[in-house]
Amino acid sequence: MTRALITGASTGLGAEYARQLAARGEDLVLVARNEDALRALAAELGRHGVGVEVLPADLLDPDQLARVEERLRDPEAPVDMLVNNAGFGMSLAFHRNAVEDEVAHLRLHNEVPLRLMHAALTGMLQRGHGRLVNIASVAAFIPRSTYSACKRWLVDISRWITGEYGRRGVTATAVCPGYTHTEFHARLGLAAGQEGVPGWMWLDAADVVAESLRDIDRGKALSVPSRRYRAIVALLKVVPAGLAAKAATRGR
């Protein structure tokens, strides 16, 4: 039986990864700040007969982050898949955002995954198998404030890890969904319909996770769920940067 550790597991895509991985028989380590929400999810997943550990942690707290790193290094209960999902959004108005909020945003999206991947990698290489998963975004391919920059880093590091370590059985996949129905947008203070994004651009979280897991299992470095977003990413390669930036001002 294999084991996955998921950050940001209490809601949204993190919780959906937990549900789908539990349904296929994988043990889980659930990480998030909200212990009550994690325990509720663990109780829900118990029906699948898998082991579920609850590890409450604020990943921006160095001591709590260190606990998660130590869990990833534990050889007695090895982690075969790490899903770096924790994150939050920022206003696109970089000049109006508090710089400390921007630094926290950068740390959670880039420094935290780097530390967790580093903690997991040695054991995975020793065992000759492992999957590192970084939840990025289609925004990685669009000039879109610091959020895009953070997500682009996840794409690039995933491609490099897969190229460097794939022959030794360890791959990294950057999952790049488009607009997906989760609690993410509600936390930005936006109700349904306030994004300014047409309905056809929205994806269902269950579909995003199911498609990405197929790509992860194949060891692909990049996963862009849905044909419509794969077409958008292909188009962005030939669209002038200025036009792409203008289009990116819609939604958040």
Query: What are the pLDDT digits (tens) for 174-217?
Result: 999 988 887 655 554 444 444 557 776 789 999 999 999 999 99
pLDDT in tens, 233-243: 888 777 665 55
Residue 220 inside a domain? The answer is yes
pLDDT for the residue numbered 233 = 87
Mean pLDDT of 80-87: 97
- Does residue 252 fall inside a structural domain? no
CATH number at residue 41: 3.40.50.720
What is the layout of strands, in order, in the sheet containing 52-56? Answer: 52-56, 27-32, 3-7, 81-84, 130-135, 170-175, 222-223
DSSP state, residue 191 = -
Domain assignment present for 108: yes
Instruction: Say what the pLDDT of residue 238 is.
Output: 74
Query: Is position 122 within any domain?
Result: yes
The answer to whether residue 192 is domain-embedded is yes
Q: What is the pLDDT of residues 99-116, one digit of tens each?
A: 999 999 999 999 999 999
Banded model confidence at residue 172, pLDDT cuts 50, 70, 90: very high
Give the pLDDT confidence score for residue 192 in this predicted structure.
47
* Domain assignment of residue 112, yes or no: yes
Q: Which of residues 208 and 249 earns the better pLDDT score?
A: 208
What's the token pair of residue 91? 């206003």
Side-chain-facing half-sphere of 192: CA atoms under 13 Å: 6
Please state the length of the chain.
252
pLDDT at residue 210, rounded to an integer: 98
Residue 7 has pLDDT above 90, yes or no: yes
Within-domain flag for 139: yes
What's the number of domains the chain is made of? 1
Q: How confident is the prediction for the chain on average, in pLDDT?
A: 90
Does 204 fall in a domain?
Answer: yes
Which of 139, 121, 119, 138 minimizes the C-alpha distance to 130?
Answer: 121
Q: Provide the residue range defining the domain that includes 69.
A: 3-247
What pLDDT does 130 receive?
Answer: 98
Does the pTM exceed 0.85?
yes
Per-residue pLDDT reduced to its tens digit, 30-75: 999 999 999 999 999 999 999 999 999 999 999 999 999 999 999 9
The owner of tokens 């707290």 is 61
At residue 190, the pLDDT reads 46
Mean pLDDT of 158-163: 98
According to the model, what pLDDT value does residue 163 have?
98
pLDDT at 5 over 70: yes
The amino acid at residue 171 is: T
Q: Hey, which bits of the chain come out as E strands?
A: 3-7, 27-32, 52-56, 81-84, 130-135, 170-175, 180-181, 203-204, 222-223
